[in-house]
Structure 1
Amino acid sequence: MSIADTTGTVSWNPGALKEILSNDERRPVLFANARILTMDPLIGTMTGADLLFVGSLLVGVGPGIITAAGDDNAIVVDCTGLTIAPAVVDAVALAGGRGQRSEYVATLTPGNIPDFLVVPDALAADGPSALAALVTVPEQVRALVAAGRPVLWAGTDVPGRVTAPEAGIPAAADLTASPPVGVWIDKNDFLHQELSADGRYDETRGGRPHAYQGRYWIDGDRIDYLDDLGFWAYGEFQGDELHHAGYVMTLR
């Protein structure tokens, strides 16, 4: 239920938000009694339906799931009069560019990630219009959920929400903690990539020294490169290997 205060701010399911934020991700969360635009070609659009997820996994969609909410100790969010739509639109799938349902990356299909919006029915004739509401009337967005965690609730930022990095190129040390410095070499000895402690890289290709040079940043298992020529590239650390542009390198 939504209630507007004297400032026009919408209060919506505050108790459910508190429970979700304190959830250890073992309790199921059920958004109930909604119109759901799944964007899945098999499931389609449902009315009076429920969306069930546990942690970052969507496990059920459709009518009648709420009947088991008490049995499963689920956190229930009443969405009467509201529409749930994917927060990410798979434009390639919508245009018919994916052959299999398993390839659809942004539908509200069991097995996918629960990234979704909750908006009033009047603002969601279809998926794109629901997304447009996020930009044009964000105060009307009841919820924006990313991987099962609320980002917006009742039109405002959720306390403690993850925030995007500030725009601009960070200082070399900002995203580089304990960098794996040294020379990384692929198994064919063609690519040598030296990572220095000062956040610079120097790449040798086929015996050609300094083929590419620039800056790098490490964020978790990801490494981003900004070459001195101006282009960006990336790699990924997988165990003791560095995967980059089709090459698999180890530290020598």
Structure 2
Amino acid sequence: MTVTVADGVTWNAEAFQQIAEDTSGRPVLFTNARVMTMDPLIGTMTEADVLLVGSVIVGVGPGIVTAAQDDNAIVVDCTGTTVVPAVVDMVALAGGRDRRSEYVATLTPGNAADLLVVPDQFAEDVPSAMATLVARPAAVRALVAAGKPVLWAGTDVPGRPTAPAAGIPAAQDLTGSPRIGVWIDREDFLHQELTADGRYDETRGGRPHAYQGRYWIDGDRIDYLDDLGFWAFGEFRGDELHHAGYIMKLR
């Protein structure tokens, strides 16, 4: 597969082909780039590398390319480009976080492999690099989400994920789901009944039908749309349902 940018200049087509065809989980190394990590400890580096293994960043900094052959990494030459996080923490940009551990979406080893690669001339800082994705998508060299390319050389990657359709989804048929039933918190204050037709009905402190509405389950996440119009969420953790500070079990 040959992928070219809008002006007809090929950019790392061979590396992209290797990424697209790989089934063995080879590391991917973006090398020779200016890297704006947004991590206050690491900062910005020139002629640096970002190493991805699966959906995780495992290394950032100069010299990683020396191990690329040992690890059978796919090498993406990013000379003349800047790599920034694909998700920007606006609070951090404004200096609103006083602990490094609270920073969200930095190019830090151990974090999700979400990154954006743009030409240096469009990356005076992180906001301008991000603006390139919106204003000049054809100039984007790579957009990677959880280690998988979404855009490459200004072109949509075949089979890329697409956003869910906007709007409230249809009710789920949850007949037979092990999560159907009445969930009760430890203090016996909150009873939340989930029914197979995608409806919930809460009893709080003995007050029946305190909240009622629709719900949707996606993996371990549950989203609620109350009949009053507000949204809420919960999370299934093993045999527990965590919701709004309550921890419930199916009874």
Name the counterpart of 2:208. Answer: 209
Tell me if the contact between 1:242 and 1:248 (Cα under 8 Å) persists in the aligned partners: yes
Q: Distance in 1 between matches of 2:95 and 2:176?
A: 45
Name the counterpart of 2:41. Answer: 42
Deviation at 1:43, TM superposition (A): 1.8
Deviation at 1:3, TM superposition (A): 8.9
Q: Give the aligned residue type for 1:92.
A: V
- Listed as ranges, the gaps of 5+ residues in structure 1 are none
Deviation at 1:11, TM superposition (A): 3.2
Name the counterpart of 1:229. Answer: 228
Give the TM-score normalised by the residue count of structure 1.
0.93
Name the counterpart of 2:144. Answer: 145
1:160 matched to 2:165? The reply is no
Change (3 A) 1:34 1:210: same
Aligned residues: 249
Name the counterpart of 2:123. Answer: 124
Give the TM-score normalised by the residue count of structure 2.
0.93
- Which region of structure 1 is more displaced relative to structure 2, 50-59 or 219-228? 50-59
Q: Give the aligned residue type for 1:30.
A: L
Deviation at 1:177, TM superposition (A): 7.5
- Sequence identity (%): 74
1:189 matched to 2:188? The reply is yes
Deviation at 1:18, TM superposition (A): 2.2
Tell me if the contact between 1:177 and 1:218 (Cα under 8 Å) persists in the aligned partners: no
Q: RMSD across aligned C-alpha pairs, in angstroms?
A: 1.9
1:19 matched to 2:7? The reply is no
Per-residue CA deviations over 1:200-219 (Å, capped at 9, x if unaligned) read: 11111000000000000000
- Listed as ranges, the gaps of 5+ residues in structure 2 are none
Structure 1 stretches of 4+ moved >6 Å: none
1:91 matched to 2:90? The reply is yes
Q: Distance in 1 between matches of 2:180 and 2:3?
A: 56
Tell me if the contact between 1:25 and 1:55 (Cα under 8 Å) persists in the aligned partners: no
